[in-house]
């Protein structure tokens, strides 16, 4: 992992078989067997998403990567995280896992 603070800045789970990834920050070879959706090159911080039920909670600031997710059939729940992003915060930073 390079050029980012957390692993979830470089790659996160979209569903059980798919990851959203910035291949410049983490080597995809670490994730064999997964389908990979690469972030748009102009949006390096776009790899952080949060799947909840049938939707993906996703920042409004990454429209090109959002389009890639939508083209794969995912429904996006857009959120404004501009204040959190100032400290490299993202949707997974504001979530708790509830089982």
Residue among 83, 1, 92, 2 nearest 46 (CA): 92
Structure tokens at 34: 């997964």
- Per the annotation, the verdict on 6 as an active-site residue is yes
Q: Which residues contact 11 (CB under 8 A, 6 or more apart)?
A: 19, 20, 21, 22, 25, 26, 31, 47
Contact (Cβ atoms closer than 8 angstroms) between residue 75 and residue 56: yes
Among the options 49, 53, 93, 94, which is catalytic? Answer: 93
Among the options 6, 49, 53, 94, which is catalytic? Answer: 6
Residues carrying an active site annotation? 6, 93
């Amino acid at each position: 992992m390079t050029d980012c603070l957390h692993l979830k800045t470089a790659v996160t789970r979209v569903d059980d078989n798919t990851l959203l990834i910035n291949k410049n920050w983490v080597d995809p070879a670490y994730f064999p067997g997964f389908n990979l959706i690469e972030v748009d090159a102009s949006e390096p911080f776009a790899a952080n998403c949060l799947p909840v039920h049938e939707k993906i909670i996703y920042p409004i600031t990454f429209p090109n990567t959002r389009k890639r997710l939508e083209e794969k059939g995912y429904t996006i729940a857009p959120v404004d995280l501009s204040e959190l992003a100032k400290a490299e915060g993202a949707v997974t930073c504001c979530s708790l896992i509830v089982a």
